[in-house]
């Protein structure tokens, strides 16, 4: 059966889900492809999240290693725990999630001059949008956003 396994890259992340009425963060490991379908090099976390799949495999790091299959729609955001520092040059948005919790993020994508407003960024076709928080890349599920304010 091992010959059917596809080698994957392990990526440590923090994933936020709704737990009761609040957002709870869990340390997990995601599995990325060695080759991206969209560019040369390895698959990225944002590519995995914006892929056309409903469920992704992960390992929950809760003192042990528990395998889980995650529903992408239930994820509020994913924060990378390793890798290069995220750019923090974009606008700062205060995001209010559907739970009522508010977190400030910096927009981490360069948008063309005629499409560079916060509303343009939020209305892109991707479900997960790239922000930065504390110098790390954070991918926010825009379907979990109740409102956003430019700060």
1 pLDDT above the threshold of 50: no
Distance between CA 57 and CA 38 in Å, rounded?
21
Map out the domains of the chain as residue ranges: 2-80, 92-150
Other CB atoms within a 10 A radius of the CB of residue 62 amount to 10
Nearest Cα neighbor of 96 from 45, 49, 46, 140 is 140
What pTM, to 2 d.p., does this model score? 0.89
Query: The tokens of 27 are what?
Result: 């340390």
34 pLDDT above the threshold of 90: no
54 pLDDT above the threshold of 60: yes
pLDDT of residue 109: 76
Decide yes or no: CATH 2.60.120 for domain 2-80. Answer: no
Query: The tokens of 110 are what?
Result: 């360069």
């Amino acid at each position: 059966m091992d010959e059917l396994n596809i080698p994957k890259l392990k990526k440590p992340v923090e994933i936020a889900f709704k737990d009761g009425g609040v957002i709870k963060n869990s340390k997990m490991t995601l599995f990325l492809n060695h080759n991206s379908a969209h560019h040369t090099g390895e698959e990225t976390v944002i590519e995995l999240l914006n892929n056309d799949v409903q469920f992704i495999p992960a390992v929950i790091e809760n003192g042990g290693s528990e395998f889980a299959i995650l529903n992408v729609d239930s994820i509020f955001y994913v924060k990378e725990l390793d890798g290069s520092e995220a750019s923090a040059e974009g606008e700062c948005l205060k995001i209010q999630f559907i739970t009522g919790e508010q977190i400030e993020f910096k927009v981490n994508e360069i948008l063309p001059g005629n499409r560079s407003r916060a509303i343009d960024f939020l209305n892109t076709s991707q479900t997960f949008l790239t922000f930065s928080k504390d110098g790390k890349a954070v991918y926010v599920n825009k379907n979990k956003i109740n409102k956003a304010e430019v700060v």
